[in-house]
A and B are shown apart, each in its own frame.
Chain A
Amino acid sequence: MFSVLPCDKHIHISSILLIGIKLNLIELSNYNLQPANTGNGLINMYFALSQGDTCSIEADSSDDAQLFLRAVATLVRPETGTYLYKEEKLVLYNYRKLLPFKKKIGYITPSSALLSNRTLRENLLLIDNYYNNSLSRKLNETTEELCDMFKITNKLEMRPTNLNQLEKLRAITIRELIKSPDFLIIERPEDYIWHTSFDEIDERLKSLLVGDKPVIFYSYDNDFTKKFSNKKILITGGHVTTVNNT
């Protein structure tokens, strides 16, 4: 059916959207994962994420919710299962082959970290420096703007050990946003975003969440969930179901 469409990828995708078929950005099927700590694990899971989806998670065990986020970020290898990214199957047993895909995920969770032997500026420039074979890259305008918004501009020359937890999490948020990810995974965003520079960040988040970029988030804040999510991922007893918010 798709073969009649033009070959160019952008035209191809937009054509599909125009004729009303929603292409899955990622699709996990028959996914089985052992419990990480005290949860139930994930049993025979099916999950698909498309452009424009903003999914919130509701789980009977927070361990299962975190395991789900890690599974979507390909940080845990399933016992069985298939992971499709833009209809291409990922090789889950080879971590090197997953790296280009991982780069396309914005993974913002309290368990994310900054490199402690590098300054905050170097942390934010790591991807840029690495992929441009340089050590003299400068922060771009968007990054500087985000640093200002999150009030960490004066901490850029400090190492992560000199920052408090909130500042670290904000720096991680900036690092993941400037990656221009295909989709975002956010765990408990209200912990470190909600309380500061509320209006400005709220606007920025809104543009991200209501925009075309798919987001999966796990929040304890009902207001936050109500405000942003258009899909709900229910995890009960290790079984995952997705329902549309009406």
Chain B
Amino acid sequence: MVGYIGRKSLVSINHILNLFAFTYKISLLILKKPVVGRAVVRRAVIEQIYFTGVQALPIVIPIALIIGSLFIIQFSKVSSQYDLGKITIILIVRELGPIVTALLVILRSATAVTIEISYMNVLNETESIEMAGIDPMRIICLPRLVGITSAMLCLFIIFDLVAIVGGYCLIWMITYVNMGNLLVQIGKAITTSDIIVGLVKALCFGITITVVSLYYGFDIKKNITYIPMNTAKASIECFLYCLVINIFISAVFYL
């Protein structure tokens, strides 16, 4: 039993170290500025932002509206007991905003990236890129890292704005619930650190989601039956790591 736990722990530690090494390898590509290939990489970044960011808007906006209005309805019931502005900031900007956005990005993009890269590996497409003298890390990994992380940051900002302002407007338009001066309270309660924490979380989640999904995509070993397994593992791990990072960042900033 002890041996089993020990072996499992070593495997997990090794896996996490591999993820860090992979992150380091991709990060180095951002610092390097090769003369060639910029146009191709730029195009891939834009495509990734479009897929992860723009195409996700029809899903993110309704979900943000629903979550925002639900919270505002519940808050209106306890408006006399608590500082609603502060509670809204804590729940939506600091915690729920980044996590819900991350969850949506995982469901849409992380799974898609793992499957796409897995297929590219199984069908020897990465090998063909290498045979063209092009670094696959540069035209596959770098655009996805930059694209998904940028899209994640934008989606987080949109989610927060829609959840708070959109939720307020929706409730104001379709119900008679008395919300008092909620928007003013939120305006007073929000601090720079709240915005920075939210952005830091979104940034870390973006990097984590991209690295984990790419890692499992490349870890396919030319076997098509691994694709569904690796996709499931990648999405679960992405979400787990996002939750852990969320707790860690909240602890660092607020404890």
Q: Which residue of A lies closest to B126 (CB)?
A: A113
Q: Which residue of B lies closest to A103 (CB)?
A: B133
Query: Using Cβ atoms and an 8 Å threshold, which residues of chain A touch B139?
Result: 130
Say yes or no: B128 contacts A99, CB within 8 Å.
no
B165 within 8 A of partner (CB): no
Task: Determine the distance from Cα of A141 to Cα of B139 in the docked complex, in whole angstroms.
Answer: 27
Say yes or no: A105 contacts B39, CB within 8 Å.
no
Among A98, A127, A134, point to the contact of B134 (Cβ < 8 A). Answer: A127
Task: Determine the distance from Cα of A131 to Cα of B36 in the docked complex, in whole angstroms.
Answer: 5
A100 within 8 A of partner (CB): yes
Say yes or no: B43 contacts A135, CB within 8 Å.
yes
Query: Using Cβ atoms and an 8 Å threshold, which residues of chain A touch B120?
Result: 115-116
Q: Which residue of B lies closest to A96 (CB)?
A: B135
Say yes or no: A113 contacts B123, CB within 8 Å.
yes
Most buried by B among A102, A111, A132: A102
Task: Determine the distance from Cα of A104 to Cα of B130 in the docked complex, in whole angstroms.
Answer: 11
117-170 of chain B: CB within 8 A of chain A:
119-120, 123-125, 127-135, 139
Q: A131-B36, A135-B39 are in contact. Are A179 and B132 (CB under 8 A)?
A: yes
Say yes or no: A107 contacts B131, CB within 8 Å.
yes
A215 to chain B, nearest CB (A): 16
Task: Determine the distance from Cα of A130 to Cα of B134 in the docked complex, in whole angstroms.
Answer: 8
Say yes or no: A99 contacts B134, CB within 8 Å.
yes
16-51 of chain B: CB within 8 A of chain A:
35-40, 43
A207 within 8 A of partner (CB): no
Say yes or no: B132 contacts A126, CB within 8 Å.
yes
B109 to chain A, nearest CB (A): 14
Task: Determine the distance from Cα of A113 to Cα of B125 in the docked complex, in whole angstroms.
Answer: 5
Query: Using Cβ atoms and an 8 Å threshold, which residues of chain B touch A96?
Result: 135
A138 to chain B, nearest CB (A): 15
Say yes or no: A99 contacts B135, CB within 8 Å.
yes
Say yes or no: B135 contacts A130, CB within 8 Å.
no
Say yes or no: A117 contacts B43, CB within 8 Å.
no
Task: Determine the distance from Cα of A96 to Cα of B37 in the docked complex, in whole angstroms.
Answer: 15
Say yes or no: A103 contacts B132, CB within 8 Å.
yes
Task: Determine the distance from Cα of A131 to Cα of B135 in the docked complex, in whole angstroms.
Answer: 12
Among A73, A75, A129, A179, point to the contact of B40 (Cβ < 8 A). Answer: A129
Say yes or no: A130 contacts B130, CB within 8 Å.
no
Say yes or no: B133 contacts A99, CB within 8 Å.
yes
Among B39, B116, B127, B133, point to the contact of A113 (Cβ < 8 A). Answer: B127
A133 within 8 A of partner (CB): yes
A53 to chain B, nearest CB (A): 21
Q: Per-residue 0/1 for A77-97: is the Cβ within 8 Å of any B Cβ (1 yes, 0 no)?
A: 000000000000000000110
Q: Which residue of A lies closest to B125 (CB)?
A: A113
A48 within 8 A of partner (CB): no
Among B35, B125, B132, B135, point to the contact of A133 (Cβ < 8 A). Answer: B35
Among A105, A129, A134, point to the contact of B131 (Cβ < 8 A). Answer: A105
Task: Determine the distance from Cα of A135 to Cα of B41 in the docked complex, in whole angstroms.
Answer: 10
Q: A112-B128, A113-B125, A116-B125 are in contact. Are A126 and B40 (CB under 8 A)?
A: yes
* Chain B residues proximal to chain A, CB less than 8 Å: 35-40, 43, 116, 119-120, 123-125, 127-135, 139
Other than the given A126-B134, A129-B39, A131-B36, 5 more pairs (CB < 8 A) read A75-B127, A102-B133, A129-B40, A130-B37, A134-B39
Going nearest first, the 5 A-B pairs with the smallest beta carbon separation are A103-B133, A113-B124, A113-B125, A130-B37, A99-B133
Enumerate 14 A-B pairs (CB-CB under 8 Å) in ascending A order. A98-B130, A100-B133, A112-B124, A112-B128, A113-B124, A115-B129, A116-B119, A116-B120, A126-B40, A126-B132, A126-B134, A130-B132, A133-B36, A172-B128
